[in-house]
Chains A and B, each alone.
Chain A
């Protein structure tokens, strides 16, 4: 029996635009914006802020009845916790997941920041902890831990964050962190801890998720069946249950022809040589998203029904959280809300 899916959209934190690389929305590449002819009145000068576009994306997700938004950790983009705070403040329903890595703050501080947001937004904040950073990126963020130590620190980070969150008088003496008589007091106590999203397929990643993840996020292309089987077993051994999620770029249109015409158009605009490849016949995933501005190569292309069938395939494997990525974010979020999500109305209805 397929469970009820839950959909999130991915917030563009390096600007956004109609086409790959254009990024003129959100003041990321102001030079890419095409000016109006000089004889046309243009009232925009000085009237907009770089954050206007992020706010617009958040409103689109809220209006389009999408369940949530993921603001990814991106060293080359906007800072996710700050963006998340803004999106939560301007929405009523949207759950917002902020991505960061454990080296950004002490666990006490990360928890303290988050407790305010949970109060401001009635518990709608989630965390996505990125543990497996590229080593050079990690060093540029001031983080020199490597290998299994990164998972050991992430484990202790989450232990301490949850410790101060749930326990007044909490004390901890560990390898990375110490706290003496800590712990939140009212009104910062008794709040729901941010829903924890983790990922990765390494044994250390699965061990961490077994103990701490609420949602384990796969990236499209990873061996989801094997991952679910291995992690479910590990989680059961910890007496826990983990939900599964998938990060997947999508390009969905009225029919197949229109979707593939869209792919060809973006492929050409991105300046990629030759014709775009077809989907992988075994998985149905199209491998070209990185070329057309996606954050990961493999994703779903096709009619709304085809894309929905792809998602159902994952639902059958136990995945329930779908973090979709579609650009440009505002228009595509509206499209998902109006055309793709209704195809899951039955599954969603069954649980509500």
Chain B
């Protein structure tokens, strides 16, 4: 198995750097001179929207060696299905990893949308199945189902989606879904089923992932914690005769030298609002875990470096998860090799700004990867398989 490396597309605008939280790409901040997609021409908006920039990021990722990109979904973002459907025909190899919460779409509809999109893209749809972080955002979406039941629903949803995929007729009667005589029409049923990346750190998540994940997907954590979490997932899966692969979503800040990388962090840190040093509301076990790796309060940015190059302060410089890698191109490549060594089979990398950093990471970091044989991290038990890297 080769290693799949994705590059995220931000679905709610982007900043030109991590130095300041200014969203000049997209419509999320007032559109002024210097804004892009939409831009200002002759004093007026130029009629473009953020989708043009997302198309640029997709094409940049495609040409710099990534297999595709993750499109996140939150109340304030663009919708990943709509984005993938719009960009389907503007890329050739780029895989669209669509983040979505089962429960918002009916599984038969999700199957129909997916198969139509598979036909539009030539089979380039990948799922990031997320089950929601609870709290006000869950109610914003109109979803009152509680944490563990959301995973039960996710499981049923995927059962129905798989059930109708090959054609049918398929009957199902569950707690959340019921269908009778369901099935995709023949031409849609010929499509390959999308790979499933599955997120969630709670017990309920890990159980559901065991049944459904092709890839169990986690945010970056300190490597031993990540390895332990993978072990748990592996144990659950083995018990039911499955063997998921593992994927990690990682922000990368890589420069020629380590000093240059940390200097970039320092410049962003100068603008961090100390009141931002708390997490969001909700029931996400994954987020609570990520905050437990750091002892707050923190004064200096390097205090968030929990192990060499593993930095837990990205959420303070841009919206999103906390952990990522900071270092020289060589160091970042070595850390990625170590992760491969503890069993990681796929990466979803990201960096701000996504367009420019896609080129940088694709051209400077990925070519330095050596793979599993070289990445055995000390103190962690990896399966130690040989691997080649497909970017």
Contacts and interface: CB of A to CB of B under 8 A. Distances in A.
Interface size class of B (residues with CB under 8 A): 35 or more
B89 A51 contact: yes
B115 to A, nearest CB: 7
A327 to B, nearest CB: 17
Contacts, number: 173
Contacts of B104: 105-106, 108-109
A153 interface: no
A172 B160 CA distance: 29
Contacts of B324: none
Contacts of B187: 14-15, 27-29, 50
B208 to A, nearest CB: 20
A82 B79 CA distance: 12
Interface in A178-208: 178-183, 185-188
B109 interface: yes
A119 B113 contact: no
A103 interface: yes
Given A119-B27, A140-B182, A109 B105 contact: yes
Interface string B70-91: 0000011011011101111110
Contacts of B297: none
Contacts of A179: 139-142
A202 B141 CA distance: 32
A177 B142 contact: yes
Interface stretch (A84-92, A235-243, A294-302, A306-314): A84-92
A120 B182 contact: no
Given A117-B86, A141-B182, A181-B136, A160 B142 contact: yes
Which of A86, A109, A114 has the largest count of B CB atoms less than 10 A from its CB? A109
Interface string A122-158: 1000000000000010011111100000000000000
A105 B142 contact: no
Contacts of B103: 106
Nearest to B109: A104
B141 A182 contact: yes
A55 interface: yes
A70 interface: no
A72 B353 CA distance: 39
A188 B76 contact: yes
B140 A90 contact: no
A8 interface: no
B181 A140 contact: yes
Nearest to B83: A116
Given A106-B142, A136-B181, A142-B177, A86 B88 contact: yes
Contacts of A29: 187
A77 B185 contact: yes
B140 A180 contact: yes
7 contacts: A79-B115, A86-B86, A86-B120, A139-B180, A144-B178, A178-B144, A182-B140
Interface of A: 14-15, 27-29, 49-51, 54-55, 75-79, 81-83, 85-86, 88-90, 100, 103-109, 112-117, 119-120, 122, 136, 139-144, 160, 172, 177-183, 185-188
